[in-house]
Amino acid sequence: MKKYLSIFKISFAQEFAYRVNFIMWRVRNVLQILLVFFLWSAVFTNPQTELFGYNRDKILTYVFGIFILRALVLSSRAVDIAGEIARGELTNYLLKPINYIKYWFTRDISSKALNLSFATVEIVILYFFLRPTFFIQTDPLQIFLFLVAVVFAVVMFFGLLVLVNFVTFWLPEGGWASQFLIIVIFTEFLSGAVFPIDILPEAIQNVLYALPFPYLMFFPLQVYLGKLSMTATLQSLLISGIWMMFMIVVINQVWARGIKKYSAVGR
């Protein structure tokens, strides 16, 4: 456990070694949320408008919730795995008494902690500039279930990202493209980061709810906003939990197979 704590601290400090990179990354996150915020502000100009089950307060809470959950769920250092495998740098880790997947999960948590700290400050600044009205959840059970959903989402996204990066074992040049398709495109749109999934027709929603993406950000926010019945919440939590366990099992299996394929090309 101590070694992972050290990894956490070193990873945390490492983020500050590339300060410009980090600041630019945070600036980009703020810019990305502005489009979504002003779009929904324009749709809900009239505070009495109710659309897709949202009113102005709930949709703007959703937007700011996306901003926080991006920092918590989607910020990850594990994007570097593909490069390490392709360059043969994975060999360094195989020689050390450390579990490679746990190593990256620890680094992920470190990155999320830092991103969340900054996102919280940025939210406060954005609040003073944009002055949105918020929906504040007061039901302790809903808040608890929201937090459980977020934990599942964090582990699920880590698993998904690692799985996509492990493609590099078989396709050394395919890691970046797979990341772009699955993480940038599918995750961005199907997780509810650009728009809530429930604006889509029900037939499309039903297909998407069978995939892991809506459980990354859309579903936790639905729980927070109290938009789901308790039955639906528990059902969806179960699906989210199953996806999380699936990811954990699959990445370990893929790792076991990938490491047999690994030939340290580039070393």
Partner 1 sequence: MMSKNAFLAMLNHRMGVVIFTAGKVLRFTFFGAFIYFLLSKTNTLAGYTLHQTLFFFLTFNLIDVISQFLFREAYRFRPLIVSGNFDLILIKPINALFRSLMGGADILDLFTIPPLIFAVYYVGSLLDPTASQVILYIILVANGLVISTAFHIAVLSLGIITLEIDHTIMIYRDLTNLGRLPIDIYKQPLKGVLTYLVPVGVMITLPAKAMMGLVTPVGVAISFALGFIMMTLMLRFWKLALKQYTSASS
Show Cβ contacts of residue 134 under 8 Å, excluding neighbours closer than 6 positions. 57, 60, 61, 64
Within 10 Å of residue 30's Cβ, how many Cβ atoms?
15
- Would you say 187 or 233 has its CB closer to partner 1? 187
172 in Cβ contact with 85 (< 8 Å)? yes
| Residue 203 engages partner 1 in binding (rule: CB under 8 A) | no
| Residue 209 engages partner 1 in binding (rule: CB under 8 A) | no
| Residue 25 engages partner 1 in binding (rule: CB under 8 A) | yes
Q: Binding to partner 1 (CB under 8 A): which residues in 52-71?
A: 52
What amino acid occupies position 38?
A: F
| Residue 51 engages partner 1 in binding (rule: CB under 8 A) | yes
**Out of 4, 12, 186, 262, which residue is the one contacting partner 1 (CB under 8 A)?**
186
SS3 state at 51 = strand
| Residue 21 engages partner 1 in binding (rule: CB under 8 A) | yes
What amino acid occupies position 194?
A: V
| Residue 180 engages partner 1 in binding (rule: CB under 8 A) | yes
Contact window for partner 1 (CB under 8 A) among 32-40, 61-69, 150-158, 228-236: 32-40
Q: What is the spatial distance between Cα 223 and Cα 232, in angstroms, rounded to a whole number?
A: 10
| Residue 207 engages partner 1 in binding (rule: CB under 8 A) | no
| Residue 42 engages partner 1 in binding (rule: CB under 8 A) | yes
- Would you say 1 or 202 has its CB closer to partner 1? 202
15 in Cβ contact with 81 (< 8 Å)? no
| Residue 24 engages partner 1 in binding (rule: CB under 8 A) | yes
| Residue 173 engages partner 1 in binding (rule: CB under 8 A) | yes
Both tokens assigned to 103:
């190593």
Closest distance between partner 1 and the C-beta of residue 102, in Å?
29
Q: What is the spatial distance between Cα 85 and Cα 80, in angstroms, rounded to a whole number?
A: 9
**Out of 200, 228, 242, 245, which residue is the one contacting partner 1 (CB under 8 A)?**
200
Of 255, 74, 76, 243, give the one whose Cα is nearest residue 163: 255
152 in Cβ contact with 240 (< 8 Å)? yes
| Residue 35 engages partner 1 in binding (rule: CB under 8 A) | yes
| Residue 178 engages partner 1 in binding (rule: CB under 8 A) | yes
- Would you say 89 or 198 has its CB closer to partner 1? 198
| Residue 211 engages partner 1 in binding (rule: CB under 8 A) | no
SS3 state at 89 = coil
Closest distance between partner 1 and the C-beta of residue 176, in Å?
7
| Residue 27 engages partner 1 in binding (rule: CB under 8 A) | yes
HEC assignment per residue over 174-235:
CHHHHHHHHHHHHHHHHCCCCCCHHHCCHHHHHHHCCCCHHHCCHHHHHHHHCCCCHHHHHH
- Contact footprint for partner 1 (CB under 8 A): 20-21, 24-25, 27-28, 31-32, 34-35, 38-39, 41-43, 51-52, 171, 173-174, 176-178, 180-181, 184-186, 188-189, 194-195, 199-201
